[in-house]
């Protein structure tokens, strides 16, 4: 997040509509008494790569900082929030990875961005690592592995800056978790959503466990921050 000035305000929540008024983009939200604006040519917000109005399209959830300029609230900073979850099998000393079909392609930890309709999420109840975020992590893990996830078994491992490794968005923070997979569920982990089956490491392939990688045979991941998250998660085991 940026340094808040005394005059800046924050809105962190779902928004419903993005329209263009001249050279300004207008962001409307049910919980905002007045809309927020940002110039089509404004690079200060670092909202993301590509057309700025496309990057603001729902269902993206944004953390906005804005200031009053004349009769308009002008966005000065915007940030995305994501969740990542490391599935770990203690009996195999291995983690489950997915193979991304979308750019950046490659092996990754299951995870993704917050959604406007995330369970329990609203402007009055923004994401945090202990309430709304675990629900998002469980949803993403379930979608990308087809597994039944016990949300109470998610262990928070920290907040990580993904801004330099996630080329889709410039300002990204992610909350990371580790999920210890019960022995009876290890075989049930299969690729889903926008992922495909990862091969697995040699020792796990010998066991017939596709997509699982021994912690002694870990590959490099598509996102640099995923390597950091994985190292941090495994240090807690």
Mean pLDDT of 147-169: 85
- Start-end ranges of CATH 3.90.79.10 in the chain? 81-234
Which of 31-35, 55-59, 84-88, 150-154 bottoms out in mean pLDDT, i.e. has the lowest? 55-59
- Token pair 């983690």 is found at 95
- Start-end ranges of CATH 2.40.50.320 in the chain? 9-79
CB under 8 Å to 69, separation ≥6 — which residues? Answer: none
Q: How confident is the model at residue 219 (pLDDT cuts 50, 70, 90)?
A: very high
Give the model's pLDDT for residue 68.
93
**Could you count the other beta carbons within 10 Å of the beta carbon of residue 196?**
12
Q: Above pLDDT 90, what percent of the chain?
A: 46
User: Superfamily assignment of 81-234 in CATH?
Assistant: Nucleoside Triphosphate Pyrophosphohydrolase (3.90.79.10)
Please state, in angstroms and rounded to a whole number, the distance separating the CA atoms of residues 168 and 166: 6
User: Superfamily assignment of 9-79 in CATH?
Assistant: Copper binding periplasmic protein CusF (2.40.50.320)
Burial of 42 (0-12, 13-18, 19+ CB in 10 A): middle
pTM score, whole prediction: 0.83
Helix ranges restricted to H, 34-151: 52-55, 132-145
- Token pair 């917050």 is found at 114
Answer yes or no: is pLDDT of 181 > 90: yes
Answer yes or no: is pLDDT of 45 > 50: no
Answer yes or no: is pLDDT of 142 > 90: yes
């Amino acid at each position: 997040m940026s340094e808040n000035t005394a005059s800046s305000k924050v809105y962190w929540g779902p928004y419903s509509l993005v329209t263009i008024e001249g050279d300004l983009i207008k962001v409307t939200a049910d919980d905002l008494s007045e809309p927020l604006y940002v110039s089509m040519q404004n690079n200060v917000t670092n909202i993301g790569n590509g057309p700025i109005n496309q990057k603001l399209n729902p269902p993206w959830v944004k953390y906005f900082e804005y200031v009053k300029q004349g009769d308009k609230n002008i966005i000065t900073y915007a940030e995305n929030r994501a969740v990542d979850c490391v599935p770990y099998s203690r009996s195999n000393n291995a983690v489950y990875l997915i193979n991304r079909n979308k750019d950046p392609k490659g092996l990754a930890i299951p995870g993704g961005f917050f959604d406007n309709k995330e369970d329990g999420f609203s402007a009055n109840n923004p994401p945090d690592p202990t309430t709304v975020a675990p629900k998002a992590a469980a949803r993403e893990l379930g979608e990308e592995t087809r597994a039944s996830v016990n949300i109470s078994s998610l262990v928070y491992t920290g907040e990580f800056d993904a801004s330099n490794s996630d080329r889709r968005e410039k300002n990204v923070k992610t909350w990371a978790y580790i999920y210890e997979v019960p022995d009876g569920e290890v075989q049930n982990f299969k690729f889903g959503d926008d992922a495909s089956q990862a091969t697995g490491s040699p020792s796990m392939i010998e066991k017939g466990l596709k997509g699982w990688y021994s912690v002694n045979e870990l590959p490099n991941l598509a996102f640099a921050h995923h390597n950091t998250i994985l190292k941090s998660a495994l240090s807690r085991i």
